Each structure stands twice: as structure tokens, then as C-alpha cells.
Amino acid sequence: MLQRRTVPWVCVLLLGLTGLPASGSDFQHHRYEDMVRVLFAVHSDCPYITRIYSIGRSVEGRHLYVLEFSDNPGIHEALEPEFKYVGNMHGNEVLGRELLIKLSQFLCEEYRAGNQRITRLIHDTRIHILPSMNPDGYEVAARQGSELNGYLVGRGNSRDIDLNRNFPDLNSLMYYYEKTNGRNHHLPLPDNWEQQVEPETLAVIKWMQNYNFVLSANLHGGAVVANYPFDKSRDARIRGRTTYSATADDKIFRQLARTYSYAHSWMHLGWNCGDFFNEGITNGASWYSLSKGMQDFNYLYTNCFEITLELSCDKFPPESSLPREWLGNREALISYLEQVHHGIKGMVYDENNNPISKAEIVVAGINHDVTTGVDGDYFRLLLPGTYTVKASAPGYLSSSKTVTVGPAEAIQLHFYLKKAPKQNLKGKHHHGKKNISANKASLKLGPR
């Protein structure tokens, strides 16, 4: 975000799990070939719960590999949420990359060891880990080395484009819609958007289009804070400062950020890297305004809620610090992942029990809707409380229900939508074209 890296068998886990030692090989920085080798080694060790796939290639042709964990790899199971971690978006911010490599090893080893918490997580969640979104930039930064790495060397891709300023700008459209009671989710992309973004950005957007992600985090470096949307300010700078820009889901975003911060060994203390962030969290725009960022794009274009995790003062920390960083982040990475199972989830069916895709789920009082996936399932992150929830789809009568959400697992709330009766226009011709037009107008859907 700001312009802005295995000791053997380290110690007993603090995860409240099984007391097993932390995983595998020595901690080190992984160049591209080494990273790929580790990902395939994890897949080889846990072939029945992992899958490796590429979402595309970098400018220089390196695959953007994702390691998936699931009890049914490669398959979306209805009512099982999709989660993603993305690291190394800025090539010279490398701690996230190493943490995600280590997390991959950890999940595999703990699953094999029978760790109940990890086993349940993998059985109930489809987890996607992209350790490096910018492998070309990483190679530039790594060639210079951690001791000499500059603030910007390797930050962008091989064309020196900052990938976190490269997504279509949907904030401006959203801020306009807010004033006109317009659409509040899945905003349309601009014409020729594919020609306006870098190959790495294009690959990630296509990835988002192919998977119905529910929750995500983007791992950066250069500060220690959990940053949540919006990143782009609604207002111009006032006396050199930008102002807090809240989403309709500001309360849940604050809670998501706090989940990571308080599970982290020191982020929640607030004082880090010469800066102070209360509770170790910040709204992006109140920190500084950023346009065309990935976390805002997730929220405005997909069903996914994403935050940005700044994890180290040093963008390219020395290898000697990696064991401490892993132990400091390990519980936070797991705790944040578990948040995907809160709120409500369910199916939307028609009268014949056929699932309805792209149905809209509206929560009264929260001006941001989500939609069902291709299998007719939906996931809506919510804080504990009582809510009125409505499901609607073109050609169907909407249905509303009241639900009370607790602090534990997501409440299942299913909807069955009846076909809307067709408007009978016969016998209306004698009223003339004007009345027929008015009749048709009455059939139009509202601003949502």
C-alpha cells in the first residue's frame, strides 16, 4: 500500500491447536524458481487437499501460481465459501510472499498431523493462496538484495507500473451513484478496460470473475497496520489531509481489521515504524487517498470483502527476521481466514428447487448488496445482530426474512422465489400508445 521476507522446528504452537512444532525447512527468501518448487512440494506432500493452477502470466512470462486447499480441490461446493490471500503485489514488499509460502507448508503439515482446527478449516473452506502477484518486480528487488533495496526498486512490474494503482476506478462511479440512489454493487467496468490494465492486473480480475470469493487479504509492507476500504477519498484534501471514506460495511470492515491486528503479536499496540494507528487499524482514505487500488475494486466489483495488511517496517527484511515475523503473523493469518464463516449464507431457489444465480441479497440498513453464485449460493458477512434480508431476481417475486446472527458460525438462510405473474397487456390498445408506454414503464425494476 505505501509507496511503499524455517528455523527447523521452532517452538510449540500458540494456536491453541495440538502443540505440534512449526513446520519444515529453514526460513529463507525464495526466488521465483524456489517458490514454485516449494508450492509443488506442498502439493506433492498433500495431493488430496491441494491443487496448483495458474491464473495467467506476468509481463516477462512468469506464471502467477495459486495453491488451493480444499477437501475437494478444483470444485466449488455449494455453501462452502471461497477465500484468497494475495502477496507480493509490490515486488519489493516481500514479507507477505514468504508468509504465504510458509502458510502453505503449515496448512499441509498440520492437516497431515491431524490438527483439528486446520482440518476443519480445509474441509469447510476453499482457500486460494497467490504468494506473488508481481514475480517480475520481486526478481528486480531480489537482485539488489535486502541490504541495499531501495524504496521503489522492484515496486512495480517489469514495465514499472504500480499494480495497486492499476485497477479500473470504480470509486468515482460509486460516489456518483450514492448521490443518485444508483447501483451499490457489481459496478460495470469501463469500455476497453482490458487494454487499460497490466497483464498481472488482468489475470487477477479474471480470477475474481471466475471464483465467487467472499473474503480476502492483500499482503504489503512498509508499515504495520490493517487497512480497510475505502482507499480513495470522497473529498479533496483538507489542509493537506484526506478524510475518512467509509463503506456501507464500515463496521464489519473495522472488525475484520481488528481480528488480524489483535491476533498479531504487536500490530494492535499501534506504535510501529514511527507511526501510530489506534488498535493497529486504519481506514485507507483517512491515512492517504489511493486511486485504482485492489481492495476497493474487490468490494465494488465482486462479492468479496478485502483488506490490505501492511506487515513490516522493512519492505525487504533480512532472512534472520523471518522466524519472528512468522510467529508474529501465524495466528493472525488463521484467525482472519476463519472470519469467512461469519454472518449468513444460503441458497436461492425457484419453485422447482432449481438454484437461481445472480439473485440479489439485500440487507436492510446496509446499502451494499451481494449476489448468488452460479450454484445459487450466497455468503453475506455480518456482525452479530438481527437483520431483515431480502432475496430478489428478475422475473421472480422477492422474498424477505428476519434473521438473528450470532458470534459463531454463519446462519443458513434459504430463499424460495415464486415466478412473478406476467402483466396482461391485452385490451389496452384502445388507450393508445401513451398508456401502453406507461404500463410498460410500471414493469421496470427499481434502481437496484
The answer to whether the beta carbons of residues 330 and 396 sit under 8 Å apart is no
CB atoms within 10 A of CB 429: 10
Give the three-class secondary structure for 56: strand
- Is residue 310 part of the annotated active site? The answer reads yes
Backbone angles phi, psi at 415, to 5 degrees: -130, 145
- Distance set, CA 237 to CA 164, 242, 287, 416 (Å): 21, 5, 11, 48
List the grid coordinates of 178: 450514492
Backbone angles phi, psi at 68, to 5 degrees: -105, 140
The answer to whether the beta carbons of residues 219 and 99 sit under 8 Å apart is yes
Angle separating helix axes 95-112 and 32-45, nearest 10 degrees: 20
Strands 275-276 and 385-392: unpaired
CB-side neighbour CA atoms (13 Å) of 328: 16
Q: What is the DSSP letter of 303?
A: S
List the grid coordinates of 118: 486446520
Radius of gyration (Cα) for the chain, nearest Å? 23
Determine which helix (DSSP H) or strand (DSSP E) holds 205, and give its type and residue range. Answer: helix 199-210
CB atoms within 10 A of CB 400: 12
Give the residue carrying C-alpha cell 512449526. 22
Could you say which of 68, 310, 331, 338 is catalytic?
A: 310
Beta bridge partners of 12: 21
Helix locations, 215-361, DSSP H: 250-263, 284-287, 294-301, 322-338
CA–CA distance, 86 with 132 (Å, rounded to integer): 7
CA–CA distance, 312 with 93 (Å, rounded to integer): 9
Say if residue 83 is preceded by a cis peptide, omega within 30 of 0: no
Residue 406's identity, in one-letter code, is: G
CB contact burial 95-123 (16+ within 10 A = b; e otherwise): bbbbbbbbbbbbbbbbbeeebeebbebbe
- Distance set, CA 297 to CA 57, 237, 259, 293, 391 (Å): 21, 22, 22, 6, 24
Active site positions, annotated? 310
